[in-house]
Amino acid sequence: MVPTWNCSGITNVAFIPLNFDEGKLVDLPMTAATYTKGQALQVTSGYYITAAADMNGAVEAVCMEGIVIATTGNTAKCVSTRNTRFLADCEDAPAQTDVGTFCDLASATTLDPDSSTDDLFFIEKIVGKVATSTQVTGYFMHENPNA
């Protein structure tokens, strides 16, 4: 799969958007912290964005720049996880039986393909050789507020 998003020169990034056109980045208000390119982000109180620390909360965005935010409220370039597919890093090589299933975050930069307590990410396919590759494609899940 060739990403439509211009990811030339991007390496060692945890979550890379595959179907989000270049130029569609948004500036989001962040909490004061250091962020890495490709890091999963969650919403805190006051609608500030922070690194995914609560591994059972919805991932709303992915940071698209390495940046130090000195003051809460300053912004960083991010991409929304809604309607966006991602090339994602896993903490361990997923099994073929993980394809078509939901998994959890292991950290703000990796998935845990063997855990499905919170079902935050849907695995569509394994990228590379099964049992040795640690990358998958898929998308983040979001709650249904009307359920």
Tokens 């989001």 -> residue: 28
Q: Say if residues 123 and 146 touch (Cβ distance below 8 Å).
A: no
Q: What are phi and psi of 46, to 5 degrees?
A: 80, 10
Residue 5: inside a domain:
no
Assess if residue 115 is contained within a domain: yes
pLDDT tens-digit profile, the chain (147 residues)? 434 344 444 556 788 888 765 557 889 999 999 999 999 999 987 889 999 876 778 899 999 999 999 999 999 999 999 889 999 999 999 999 999 999 999 999 999 999 988 899 999 999 999 989 999 999 999 875 554
Residue carrying structure tokens 């396919």: 125
Q: Is residue 121 part of a domain?
A: yes
Is residue 74 situated within a structural domain? Answer: yes
Alpha carbon distance 44, 6 (integer Å): 29
| Predicted model pTM | 0.83
Report the half-sphere exposure of 130 (CA within 13 A, side-chain side): 6
Count up the domains in the chain and report the number.
Answer: 2
pLDDT one-digit tens code per residue, 67-109: 999 999 999 999 999 889 999 999 999 999 999 999 999 999 9
